[in-house]
Amino acid sequence: MNAIISASELADALAGPRPPVLLDVRWQLSVAKAGGEPPFDGRAAHESGHIPGAVYVDLDRELASAPGKEGRHPLPDIGEFGAAMRRAGVSAARPVVVYDGGQGWAASRAWWLLRWTGHPDVRVLDGGLAAWEGPLETGAAEPAEGDFSPEPGAVALLDADAAAELARSGLLLDARAGERYRGEVEPIDPVGGHIPGAVSAPTNDNVGPDGRLRPAAELRARFEALGAAGGTEVGVYCGSGVSAAHEVLALAVAGIPAALYAGSWSEWSGDPSRPVAVGPDPQ
């Protein structure tokens, strides 16, 4: 099954006999700015206009635990995640489509979590809400309770030690912007740089000028050029396990399975005992 769905395909599915559960995961990374600009409010954005029937899911509260030593977006408590998904109407026997404002990072985080916990049929709206040309509705949806019971382990997950080993034995991709990988800037985490051996692969390069993922053949060629060929084991990390999920999505579209290091750089760099590499080269 394809990991993504187009806006036209979604419109057809919503009009069909087995419409998917729709999750709206609009979110933006909050970085302190001069002038006191208020942070993005995903719930307010949802209530002002969303795809009909969509239910808002809060990434920071329902798709992650509180920030701590395991990073800025640690994996959520499984019981709490399951309860949140059931409140949103998610059931094991019903397809799920996830979308965000268009960047795809937050939607991919929800997609990955649902896959990791065993949901068999979940896709991301390619291009997000920006690609949707149908009607919108306002207010908050009140779905019927779902029955989804999460069972972690359906797809590969890395911890810090496994990520370090994969950087030596396979291919560990760093999905952050190149300047953060090189250590030239670091606006959020304790230090800049990358996990020694990791290869720079900014997730934004997987998206075309229209905001949609590049065709599968282009994505495959890109990842093979980075080293994902010949059965090489692949893993991905980013700053906090959000944009890396989008890279895992792109890899899935390319037909390349990949593990997610959920703690990512925010966990790695928070431990001063772990090595940090800087510059354009993996080592």
Sorted by where each starts, the structural domains of the chain and their CATH numbers stand as 4-131 (3.40.250.10), 157-268 (3.40.250.10)
Which tokens go with 91?
């059931």
Which residue among the candidates 195, 238, 248, 258 is catalytic per the annotation? Answer: 238
**Which residues contact residue 109 at a Cβ distance below 8 angstroms, ignoring those fewer than 6 apart?**
25, 59, 63, 64, 73, 241, 242, 245
Burial 2-35 (b: 16+ CB within 10 A, else e): ebbbebeebeebeeeeeebbbbbbbbbbeeeeee
- The phi, psi pair for 162, rounded to 5°, reads -65, -35
Rounded Cα gap, residues 221 and 224, in angstroms: 5
One pLDDT digit (tens) per residue for the chain, 283 residues: 799 999 999 999 999 999 999 999 999 886 544 455 678 899 999 999 999 999 999 999 999 999 999 999 999 999 999 999 999 999 999 999 999 999 999 999 999 999 999 999 999 999 999 999 999 999 988 899 999 999 999 999 999 999 999 999 999 999 999 999 999 999 999 999 999 999 999 999 999 999 999 999 999 999 999 999 888 999 999 999 999 999 999 999 999 999 999 999 999 999 999 999 999 999 8
The side-by-side arrangement of strands in the sheet containing 199-200 is 157-158, 259-261, 234-237, 171-174, 199-200
Active site residue 238: yes
Structure pTM? 0.95
